[in-house]
Chain A
């Protein structure tokens, strides 16, 4: 079968760059390595980590973005998680939230389960899918200079970005995984715990 080429970016370096000086950025992570990468970049109450609910990260980002129109929301997820929620790219584009961006760490593999190739390892271009769904801004980064250039755009426009990371596995960094705790501290930090 057809195969695409591996990316070369270091996933931890990519996430450290994207989340440098996060301020009050609201961050939602897809399960698996994206959760570990964001945790490794520095745990904070406004990070909401998924440890399950595969395919749901982008839609959590949408509900959050609609509820907090004056804040910026960034979803950081992997190619497998994004593929499971592919329809949400259409839903989000149709909803038209301008304060939501998605960064897909694309290693072309299901890294948690033995590094089987995902669809992006064969034929699928997620940025092209997003564009076809109606996302006005899409981009793909293959170098750290391009990652650096994406960083401000992810915080200022509705951008769908693919980051071509290498398939190298990193040591696991495990942030909190109690969903009730993560929810409560997020809502308290946003001062919406009483709503």
Chain B
């Protein structure tokens, strides 16, 4: 698989932000980050059964003095809504990186409703939403979002646009 360099920049930004726990529900757009986490002895990757587990994981990490990130795709955002009350009520940081589906050359119509709703529902749930469209901007956006989350103790989602990660191609 071809790994665009912006993904290495994103991983470096997470490391610079002292993130040491990485919860994820896999997505092809996050595959390089997940692989990097598993190859890094100083990062603790945690595979989740559903996305909201990652919010609770991050809360526990913060209670124990560590920083976590949640990797998911936009279809997982809908699973998270009630659990997002946890970092808000507890004035904890929460950082998530969301690969977008259903917005750019999407093959699968089942991905479209949640993809279209993702920025709105996150905003309604109290999450600061940033969107990365350009490869040159992604790492800096993740670094700034991590600073916002961990220094100001707010919830921040960085949406990786489907154009950025490349639409999934289905071949019969």
- Measured CB to CB, the residues of A under 8 A from B are 26, 28, 48, 50-68, 71, 85, 87-88, 90-91, 94-95, 179-180, 182-184, 186-187, 190, 192, 195
Contact = CB atoms under 8 A, between A and B. Distances in A.
Contacts of A60: 56-57, 59-60, 63, 86
Contacts of B86: 50, 52-53, 56, 60, 179
Contacts of A53: 56, 59, 82-83, 85-86
Interface in B1-46: 20-21, 44, 46
Contacts of B53: 56, 59, 85, 87-88, 91
Contacts of A179: 86, 89-91
A55 B81 CA distance: 13
A139 B88 CA distance: 35
Contacts of B61: 63-64, 66-67
Interface string B65-108: 11110000000000000110110011110000000000000000
A94 B47 contact: yes
A-side interface mostly: helix
Contacts, number: 124
Interface in B47-65: 47-50, 52-65
12 contacts: A56-B59, A57-B56, A60-B63, A68-B65, A87-B50, A91-B53, A94-B47, A95-B46, A184-B91, A186-B63, A187-B65, A190-B65
A187 B59 CA distance: 12
A180 B90 CA distance: 4
Contacts of A90: 49
A195 B21 contact: no
